[in-house]
Amino acid sequence: MLRLTLAAGAALGGLALATAFPSIPQTARSLVGLPVSSASGAAQPAAPAPARQQDGHGHAAGKEEDHGEEGHIAMTAEQIEAAGIQVAKVGGGNLVTRTAVPGVLSASQDRLARVTARLSGTIAEVRKGLGDDVAQGDILVVIESREIADAKGEYLATLRQAALVETTLQRETRLWRQRISAEQDFLQARAAAEEVRIKIDLGRQRLSALGLSETEIAGLPRQPAASLRRHEVRAPIAGRITTRAAVLGAAVGADAELFTVADLSVLWVEMAIPPRDLPLVRQGQKVAIAGEDDVRGEAKIIFLSPLLDPETRSARSVAELPNADGQWRPGAFVTAQLTTAEQPVDVMVPRDAVQEVEGTKVVFVRTEDGFEKREVALGREDATGFEVVFGLDTGTEIAVGNAFSLRAELSKSEAGHAH
């Protein structure tokens, strides 16, 4: 009752003051709680002070940094390229059903060379070591051998004999045509020349069997006598030295294995196919290969044995696997995925394109100024991709490579909004 009396007194006092002093400004009237006059002259109650807006945490909201719309990531073309993000248009594809078969990698037998001495002697030089890359024709070791010296010496002696015999044959041919010498002398000279030619051919074949090239054989007459004992063992193919048995100063025999050179740009995948999967395998078929650290590749079957191993009751199969960048290593265990069925789908995206954000599957759609998050509903899947049943149309550009970096960028943007 007392409060009502005091409030009524204050209101009457204010009204009296406003009547006595009509020239009090409108702002001052509002500050002291006086009625504010409207445009028509009627007194209006004072307008309440505007309340400060608050954010979701109950704090007064000031001017915040603009993080963009929710789910949108602003990026320039240069930033996208620098981040290694790959973009591609969405299209249809085939879902492939596969069955897994264990396999092991080995060097291709078509690209493997075992280097032997081919003659007995002593290793005088070792030019290449274990793990070195070599080109075809590179010198691996130098062997000093009495056997090679005898072969070279015999060949050079035959060449000199051939020069003398050819001169004799030319003279006897001229004399016989001039009726100066008998025909028998001409025939003897011709037979001797033919015999020497045969010896030269045999000597060249012997040197070739010992490992000399045609260029080396042709250059023998110009070699100094001291180098006739030296034999250069060369790489028969380009590749990498995977084994080395050559030791400086060691005596070696003709069949001694000195090096193994392997071209590892193509490897073999050795597989044991169980009988139940044999109907699914054929020569020339593509096989998906998966290794450790999620390394993947594609090989082609080049051999399928018609026989079953009596112990394992499986058939041996070999596939060629490209390895130009050296990411695969011989001896590693892999899993080969054999295709058993294919189903076409209208919209298919790679597995790397789909990310999970707050428990929801999303892809990142390319926009004019970056990317935006888009939720998708997935259907069937295989080892390489997902079928999209809702949320994405054919022809839409999305991030298909390194999309996880966009997920991280989105998390930072949402953290900025939260604070």
- Asked if residue 64 belongs to a domain, the reply is no
Structural domains counted in the chain = 4
Please indicate, yes or no, whether residues 79 and 101 belong to a single structural domain of this protein: no
Alpha carbon distance 133, 128 (integer Å): 9
> Rg of the chain's alpha carbons, rounded to an integer?
46
Give the β-pairing of 230-234 and 385-390.
unpaired
Please indicate, yes or no, whether residues 211 and 276 belong to a single structural domain of this protein: no
The CATH number given to whatever domain includes residue 374 is: 2.40.420.20
Please indicate, yes or no, whether residues 321 and 375 belong to a single structural domain of this protein: no
Round the average pLDDT of the chain to a whole number and report it. 81
Please indicate, yes or no, whether residues 129 and 227 belong to a single structural domain of this protein: yes
* Residue 414 binned pLDDT confidence (cut-offs 50, 70, 90): low
Q: What percent of the chain stands above pLDDT 70?
A: 82
| Predicted local confidence at residue 301, as pLDDT | 95
| Predicted local confidence at residue 348, as pLDDT | 94
Q: What percent of the chain stands above pLDDT 90?
A: 41
| Predicted local confidence at residue 62, as pLDDT | 36
Lowest mean pLDDT among 40-49, 54-63, 208-217, 289-298: 54-63
- Asked if residue 331 belongs to a domain, the reply is yes
pLDDT exceeds cutoff 50 at 358: yes
Please indicate, yes or no, whether residues 243 and 333 belong to a single structural domain of this protein: no
Q: Spell out the residues 6+ positions from residue 217 whose beta carbon is closer than 8 angstroms to its own.
A: 155, 204, 207, 208
Please indicate, yes or no, whether residues 142 and 105 belong to a single structural domain of this protein: no
* Residue 265 binned pLDDT confidence (cut-offs 50, 70, 90): very high
| Predicted local confidence at residue 254, as pLDDT | 87
Q: pLDDT tens digit string along 120-160?
A: 999 999 999 999 999 999 999 999 999 888 889 899 989 88
| In the block, residue with structure tokens 């390319």 | 366
Please indicate, yes or no, whether residues 131 and 247 belong to a single structural domain of this protein: yes
Q: pLDDT tens digit string along 193-250?
A: 899 899 999 999 988 888 888 888 888 888 888 788 999 999 999 999 999 999 999 9
- Asked if residue 122 belongs to a domain, the reply is yes
The CATH number given to whatever domain includes residue 300 is: 2.40.30.170
pLDDT exceeds cutoff 80 at 22: no
- Asked if residue 60 belongs to a domain, the reply is no
| Predicted local confidence at residue 328, as pLDDT | 93
**In the 3-class helix/strand/coil scheme, how is the chain assigned residue by residue?**
CHHHHHHHHHHHHHHHHHHHCCCCCHHHHHHCCCCEECCCCCEECCCCCCCCCECCCCCECCCCCCCCCCCEEECCHHHHHHCCCEEEECEEEEEEEEEEEEEEEEECHHHEEEEECCCCEEEEEECCCCCCEECCCCEEEEEECHHHHHHHHHHHHHHHHHHHHHHHHHHHHHHHHCCCCCHHHHHHHHHHHHHHHHHHHHHHHHHHHCCCCHHHHHCHHHCCHHHHHEEEEECCCCEEEEEECCCCCCEECCCCEEEEEECCCEEEEEEEECHHHHHHCCCCCEEEEECHHHCEEEEEEEEEEEEECCCCCCEEEEEEEECCCCCCCCCCEEEEEEEEEEEEEEEEEEHHHCEEECCEEEEEEEECCEEEEEECEEEEECCCEEEEEECCCCCCEEEEECCHHHHHHHHHHHHHHHC
Q: pLDDT tens digit string along 268-308?
A: 999 999 988 888 888 999 998 998 877 889 999 999 999 99
Please give the average per-residue pLDDT across 30-51, as a whole number: 41
- Asked if residue 67 belongs to a domain, the reply is no
Q: pLDDT tens digit string along 110-130?
A: 999 999 998 899 999 999 999
Q: Which residues constitute the domain of residue 368?
A: 72-93+344-418
- Asked if residue 63 belongs to a domain, the reply is no
| Predicted local confidence at residue 225, as pLDDT | 80
Please indicate, yes or no, whether residues 252 and 120 belong to a single structural domain of this protein: yes
- Asked if residue 188 belongs to a domain, the reply is yes
pLDDT exceeds cutoff 60 at 2: no
- Asked if residue 55 belongs to a domain, the reply is no
Q: pLDDT tens digit string along 161-184?
A: 888 888 888 888 888 888 888 888
pTM for the full predicted model: 0.55
Please indicate, yes or no, whether residues 240 and 298 belong to a single structural domain of this protein: no
Please indicate, yes or no, whether residues 156 and 287 belong to a single structural domain of this protein: no
The C-alpha torsion from 237 through 242 and 248 to 249, rounded to 10°, is: -80
| Predicted local confidence at residue 382, as pLDDT | 83
Last residue of a domain, one of 258, 285, 316: 258
Please indicate, yes or no, whether residues 184 and 253 belong to a single structural domain of this protein: yes
pLDDT exceeds cutoff 80 at 61: no
